[in-house]
A and B are shown apart, each in its own frame.
Chain A
Amino acid sequence: MGMILNVDGLKKSYGAVEAVKGISFQVGQGEIFALIGPNGAGKTTTLRIVATLLTITQGTISLLGHDLRKNPEKFRENISYLPEEAGAYRNFKGRDYLKFMANFYAGTPDAAAAYVKRAEEIAGLGDRLASKVGTYSKGMVRKLLLARALMTRPALAILDEPTSGLDVINSLEVREIIKRYAREGISVLLSSHNMLEIEFLSDRVALIDKGLILDSGTPQELKSKYQAPNLENVFRSALR
């Protein structure tokens, strides 16, 4: 499996506060790589840096050979980012929002239409796509945003708590969608508090705490190493 994302010695400081203290990891093509850790561990900061939202204090990040610092715009062409607390334009109809976002990535109107069609399938919102986003439930908005993130088949999808705010059924659907798109070749970098979700979705996991990666490996490897029945116990053991 070829690695498409390389994060090497990444550090991020906000003034005197060091949020990320030098982490390194790689994500392969079609791989789902998860960062798990408590609040304030540096997961979201790492995802935001890879998503080109925050600047790097030290270290390098490259995607498909494009250096983030040197060429952030080329970087953005190959990623899509779903923040934990994301919204869509409330005055837009669902379909219009998808069209608006598709136009940034599509070279032609036909390509944009194809992206929108794919997004409609992913979202599964049917006729509600003709309604304004302001009338959607939290779950519907999340599905719309996930569809937006995956419709262009980006090289890397960065998903921060992808099932945040969703009920059990919707969460299951979303996990299936993510798995399916990863099988089709999309790489996924995600973070979640939900260890069961991570165990179900991820090919590899990095345990992160206080800005440092404590350990990483496949869920099976980690469970064997720490002789734990699940990732929650793995994490607790790793912290000790």
Chain B
Amino acid sequence: MKNFMNLFRKEVKELLSKQLIVSLLLMMGMFYFIGQMTKKEAARAAAAQKISVFDRDKSDLSGRLLAGLQAMNFKIEAVTAATTEAAVNAVRETDTSLLIVIPQGFGDSMTRLEAQPVETYSFLRNFSVMGARTSAIVRAVLEAINKVLSDETLKARIPEISPDRLKNPIKSKDFVIIKSRIAEGSASAVAGFVTSQTVMIPVILMMIILYSSQMVISAIAMEKQNKTLETLLTVPISRTSIVSAKMLASGLVGLLSAVIYMIGFRSYMSGFTGDMAQMPGVSQVVQKLGLTLNANALIILGASLFFAILCALAMATILGVLAEDFRSAQSLIMPMLILIMIPYFVSMFADVKTMSFPIKLFILANPFSHPFLAMQNIFLENYRAVALGVLYMAVFFGIMVYIAGRIFSTDKVLTMKLRWGKKKVVL
């Protein structure tokens, strides 16, 4: 144990280099900065939208239309100009991104129920995601205009019935069922809420597994590159302890790196998604449907993640032996990356249950699929599938550790090298 701890401390010290700490902090700072910037932009986009209106009609109806738009959270800036061209030029100098031109005779036409086009001028000043919101504003304004005008017309012609009842004669009462639980709410809202709450989990999972694997491959490759592995293998410490000290240290540093990375990433993502806890109504429905991760669920998910990390570390140990130096270690992460990316995308875009048997088998044979699927299975109370996944990963880990142990106990730790088409023998 003393020798194990001695080696473990050395591994952590080597992995937790100043360069790693500085790069992680820089990355976190960068994510935070971009997140804050995006948040500000999003807040600006969510606030009352300022639109310029050149009202050439000046009728009662156009007046009521503008009042209606104001009531629908649009900030109206009236433009005074002689011509439409002059109005466009005037708005061009401001920061408003939309000009609505209400034509002359608009009120009269509408009274006769004759369609007369309203002109819209969108000022595209940048092409960022937030900048492209102008088209959404145009749509929202036109919808609002149509609503105001149709409501006005319906109220005038059929005053005894509310316009809303006329336009939507059927109302629905939506229920969502998950297993034995039922709650009133919209399926799309519930699915959207759950997705928004759990979207980070596969990302976190992928980052932790990748970071840990990268660490352990690099740790072994660095020993080879610095010509320290041979000396280490001759000191009085069991080969199992060498393998496990490297795996444990890499797992811990990988976890730490992933956590720091994810804090930054979450702050970045919150700029886009906002605070999910503020979604009204939906959270109660989600609670009622049992779609929240309680302590037990988190423990099960944690166990699944833990075994996935162990599998990754054991596989990475074997891959690390194949590396000749640090540079070749970088390319050896590729097989791990592919194995992790497949379930990552499958969990996001497809349902394993509906896949054909060979594909399903291929997905389930990949140990990294199980933590990705565990989340959905926990929500669906399919604990047996989660348990079987954990069991499979435990067996897989055992086999990998056995192989890694065999490699470290034989010449292979020194003679195994990945040389495409060549076989190297050390004399």
CB distance from A66 to the nearest CB of B (A): 12
Interface string of A91-102 (1 = CB under 8 A from B): 110000000110
Which of A1-9, A50-58, A176-184 is the contact stretch?
A50-58
Q: Does A19 contact B (CB under 8 A)?
A: yes
List residues of B (314-332) whose CB comes within 8 Å of A's CBs. Answer: none
Whether the Cβ atoms of A91 and B17 lie closer than 8 Å is yes
Whether the Cβ atoms of A86 and B10 lie closer than 8 Å is no
Whether the Cβ atoms of B231 and A83 lie closer than 8 Å is yes
Q: Does A73 contact B (CB under 8 A)?
A: yes
Whether the Cβ atoms of B6 and A89 lie closer than 8 Å is no
List residues of B (214-256) whose CB comes within 8 Å of A's CBs. Answer: 226-228, 230-231, 233-238
14 cross-chain CB contacts under 8 A: A14-B425, A14-B426, A14-B427, A45-B427, A53-B230, A81-B234, A82-B231, A88-B228, A89-B10, A89-B228, A91-B17, A101-B231, A103-B2, A104-B6
* Interface residues of chain A: helix, strand, loop or mixed (majority): mixed
Q: Does B174 contact A (CB under 8 A)?
A: no
Q: Does B415 contact A (CB under 8 A)?
A: yes
Given A89-B14, A90-B226, A103–B427 Cβ distance below 8 Å?
A: no
Closest 9 CB pairs of A and B: A87-B227, A87-B226, A81-B234, A104-B235, A103-B6, A77-B236, A76-B236, A14-B425, A83-B230
Nearest opposing residue in chain B for A40, CB measure: B427
Give chain A residues whose Cβ lies under 8 Å from the Cβ of B234: 51-53, 76, 79-81
Give chain B residues whose Cβ lies under 8 Å from the Cβ of A77: 236
A19 to B426, CA, bound (A): 9
Give chain A residues whose Cβ lies under 8 Å from the Cβ of B238: 73
Give chain B residues whose Cβ lies under 8 Å from the Cβ of A86: 227-228, 230-231
Whether the Cβ atoms of B427 and A81 lie closer than 8 Å is no
Whether the Cβ atoms of B226 and A55 lie closer than 8 Å is no
Given A51-B234, A76-B234, A101-B235, A85–B427 Cβ distance below 8 Å?
A: no
User: Which residue, A54, A92, A104, has most C-beta atoms of chain B within 10 A?
Assistant: A104
Given A45-B427, A103-B3, A54–B414 Cβ distance below 8 Å?
A: yes
A91 to B13, CA, bound (A): 9
Report A's interface with B, CB cutoff 8 A: 14-15, 17, 19, 40, 42, 44-45, 48, 51-55, 73, 76-77, 79-83, 85-92, 100-101, 103-105, 145, 148
Nearest opposing residue in chain B for A102, CB measure: B6
Give chain B residues whose Cβ lies under 8 Å from the Cβ of A45: 427
A55 to B409, CA, bound (A): 9
Q: How many residues of B contact A (CB 8 A)?
A: 25
A87 to B232, CA, bound (A): 11
Q: Does B411 contact A (CB under 8 A)?
A: yes
CB distance from B326 to the nearest CB of A (A): 11
Nearest opposing residue in chain A for B231, CB measure: A86
Set A42, A55, A79, A83: member contacting B410, Cβ < 8 A: A55
Nearest opposing residue in chain B for A145, CB measure: B231
Set B10, B228, B236, B425: member contacting A17, Cβ < 8 A: B425
CB distance from A40 to the nearest CB of B (A): 5
Set A73, A76, A81, A88: member contacting B230, Cβ < 8 A: A81
Give chain A residues whose Cβ lies under 8 Å from the Cβ of B411: 14, 53-55
Nearest opposing residue in chain A for B226, CB measure: A87
List residues of B (274-320) whose CB comes within 8 Å of A's CBs. Answer: none
A75 to B419, CA, bound (A): 33
Set B13, B231, B425: member contacting A81, Cβ < 8 A: B231
Set B6, B14, B236: member contacting A73, Cβ < 8 A: B236
User: Which residue, B410, B411, B425, has most C-beta atoms of chain A within 10 A?
Assistant: B411
User: Which residue, A44, A55, A79, A89, has most C-beta atoms of chain B within 10 A?
Assistant: A89
Give chain A residues whose Cβ lies under 8 Å from the Cβ of B2: 103
User: Which residue, A54, A85, A145, A148, has most C-beta atoms of chain B within 10 A?
Assistant: A54
A37 to B17, CA, bound (A): 42
Known: A48-B414, A86-B231. 18 other contacts (CB 8 A): A42-B427, A45-B427, A52-B234, A53-B233, A53-B234, A76-B235, A76-B236, A83-B230, A86-B227, A87-B227, A89-B14, A89-B228, A100-B10, A103-B6, A104-B3, A105-B235, A105-B236, A145-B231
A92 to B233, CA, bound (A): 19
Give chain B residues whose Cβ lies under 8 Å from the Cβ of A40: 427
CB distance from A141 to the nearest CB of B (A): 10
Give chain B residues whose Cβ lies under 8 Å from the Cβ of A89: 10, 14, 226, 228
Nearest opposing residue in chain A for B5, CB measure: A103
A42 to B414, CA, bound (A): 16
Whether the Cβ atoms of A100 and B6 lie closer than 8 Å is yes
Whether the Cβ atoms of B227 and A83 lie closer than 8 Å is yes
A16 to B10, CA, bound (A): 39
Give chain A residues whose Cβ lies under 8 Å from the Cβ of B14: 89, 91
A204 to B4, CA, bound (A): 38
